[in-house]
Amino acid sequence: MFDPKQLVDQFLGSGAQQGGASQRAGDALQQGKGYLQNNAGGLAGGALAGGLAGLLLGSKKGRKLGKKAVTYGGLALVGGLAYKAYSNWQQNQQNPQAGGSGTAPTAGGAGGGAAAPEQVALPDPSGTAFEPAAAPGGESQMALNVLIAMIQAAKADGHIDAQEQAHIFEQIDKLGLGVEEKAFIMDELRTPLDIDKVVAAATTQELALELYTASRLTIEPDHPAEQAYLQMLAARLGLEPALVNELEQAVAEAQT
């Protein structure tokens, strides 16, 4: 069985350590610049725009989390954004008069010091239900669920048709992925959009928010079908509108 966490790093970057397979993916896809329409410079130092997710998104805009986010990637990025949104939402629930976003715990844990000025103030989910290892089935199962959520989101606007799939499969062959990794991606792409698969994997509130976060990171909802997909996903996952709004704020802050 392939390592789902490593494949998540291919999609979302591996934070400050942009090397190995993730770097090879970006190098291989430089050959497809015309196809990707120069979407470099995206999430986690370009990994999302120039790696596997960029390939899935095709000519759509790269998801850009600015230079402040380059120290994050993979499950740490998903968990950190989800935990930040949840913490702010919880604080507003306890103190509704405050209004707006609360102040989530900063990097270094719930009682940690402030993050460095050049970094996004994402909290450390260690010791909470947002820690990947604490997810049902452990870190590997969470990574697999995140991958499924991202690929489903990439299909939300019907962009990936048979011709697009053929091109993606051709490019995947250049990424240096293992046989099982290739098979997983291809199988997920070939199947029709299935929001039920994402919802079924969300067995806790924290995981539900993390899977929504992964979906939101994959697409910029500038297409009616994408907007409808995210709205339906949030409703099916049981996420309150105020909680979704906090996540949108967390993503917006990380894009600066």
**Residues 6 or more apart whose Cβ sits within 8 Å of residue 97:** none
**Residues 6 or more apart whose Cβ sits within 8 Å of residue 243:** 85, 86, 89, 209
Examine the domain organization and report whether 58 and 92 are in the same domain: no
Examine the domain organization and report whether 214 and 103 are in the same domain: yes
- Specify if 96 maps to a domain: yes
pLDDT at site 105: 52
Bridge partners (DSSP) of residue 73 are: 14
As a whole number of angstroms, the distance between CA 62 and CA 57 comes to 8
Weakly modelled stretches of the chain, pLDDT under 70: 13-73, 97-121, 255-256
- Specify if 147 maps to a domain: no
Examine the domain organization and report whether 205 and 122 are in the same domain: yes
Residue 1 token pair: 């069985």
pLDDT at site 172: 76
Examine the domain organization and report whether 62 and 172 are in the same domain: yes
Q: What DSSP state is assigned to residue 68?
A: G
Gyration radius from the chain CA atoms: 17
Examine the domain organization and report whether 58 and 110 are in the same domain: no
- Specify if 56 maps to a domain: yes
Examine the domain organization and report whether 89 and 62 are in the same domain: no
Which pLDDT tens digit goes with each residue over 149-173?
Answer: 998 998 888 877 777 778 778 877 7
Which pLDDT tens digit goes with each residue over 216-251?
Answer: 988 888 889 999 999 999 999 999 999 999 999 988
pLDDT at site 59: 41
Examine the domain organization and report whether 122 and 172 are in the same domain: no
Domain housing 134: 74-138+198-254
- Specify if 8 maps to a domain: yes
Q: What DSSP state is assigned to residue 132?
A: G
Whether residue 82 contacts residue 247, with contact meaning beta carbons closer than 8 Å, is answered with yes
- Specify if 145 maps to a domain: no
pLDDT at site 126: 86
The number of domains in the chain is: 2
Q: What DSSP state is assigned to residue 48?
A: H
As a whole number of angstroms, the distance between CA 239 and CA 165 comes to 32
As a whole number of angstroms, the distance between CA 208 and CA 215 comes to 11
As a whole number of angstroms, the distance between CA 65 and CA 62 comes to 9
Examine the domain organization and report whether 218 and 245 are in the same domain: yes
Of 191, 212, 230, the one marking the end of a domain is 191
- Specify if 146 maps to a domain: no
Q: What DSSP state is assigned to residue 114?
A: P
- CA atoms 27, 52, 162, 225: torsion sign: negative
- Specify if 220 maps to a domain: yes
| SS3 label, residue 86 | helix
Examine the domain organization and report whether 131 and 10 are in the same domain: no
pLDDT at site 7: 83
Residue the block writes with tokens 């990439």: 154
